[in-house]
Amino acid sequence: MEKVTPFLMFEGNAEEAMNYYTSLIEESEITRITRYGPNEAGDEGSVMQAVFSLKGQEFMCIDSNVKHEFTFTPSFSVFLTCDSEEEITRLYESLSDGGGALMPLGDYFFSKKFGWIVDRFGVSWQLNFPS
């Protein structure tokens, strides 16, 4: 079955990011990690390819073994609808630690409670609690 899967490219901290995200977000898990072995293109033990899910949405990621002139951009973000005000507040505080706010957590015309942040890994998140 064909599907669309977001794919995140990290520079050496893919496993740390996956562990962090799945520890914060309920109904999340790492389902597969393939690592580079000795004498392969990437650093031994780093993530060649991994699959994890956040609230049922599957993601793929890698540790790039090539240094690039680019990284993540806020123009592409993970949009997460939260089940409660407690959840959005907790995730906003946790994910913005070591990162930064693009839109502070607040009441906006389009949402009762919304916040947009960049986490410590450079990934952009839009957190929404609509009711």
At residue 50 the predicted structure's pLDDT band, cuts being 50, 70 and 90, is very high
Considering the chain, what is the average pLDDT of its residues?
Answer: 95
Q: Does 67 have pLDDT greater than 90?
A: no
Q: Does 2 have pLDDT greater than 90?
A: no
* pLDDT one-digit tens code per residue, 15-25: 999 999 999 99
Report pTM. Answer: 0.92
Cα distances (angstroms) measured from residue 30 to each of 20, 62, 63, 82, 104? 11, 13, 15, 20, 29
Cα distances (angstroms) measured from residue 56 to each of 25, 36, 77, 95, 105? 11, 27, 17, 19, 24
Average pLDDT over residues 92-101: 97
At residue 91 the predicted structure's pLDDT band, cuts being 50, 70 and 90, is very high
Token representation of residue 96: 């913005």
Cα distances (angstroms) measured from residue 74 to each of 26, 35, 87? 23, 28, 22
What are the backbone dihedrals phi and psi of residue 41, each rounded to the nearest 5 degrees, phi first? -60, -30
The fold of the 77-129 domain, in CATH, is 3.30.720
What confidence score (pLDDT) does residue 35 get?
A: 97
Residue 118 neighbours by CB under 8 Å, 6+ apart: 72, 74, 96, 99, 100, 102, 124, 125
* pLDDT one-digit tens code per residue, 3-47: 899 999 999 999 999 999 999 999 999 999 999 999 998 899 999
What confidence score (pLDDT) does residue 100 get?
A: 95
Whether 77-129 and 7-63 are alike in CATH topology: the answer is yes
Q: Would you state the torsion angle of the CA atoms of residues 18, 23, 24, 26, taken in this order, to the nearest 10 degrees?
A: 110
20: DSSP letter: H
What confidence score (pLDDT) does residue 131 get?
A: 76
Q: Where are the domains of the chain?
A: 7-63, 77-129
The fold of the 7-63 domain, in CATH, is 3.30.720
Q: Does 75 have pLDDT greater than 80?
A: yes
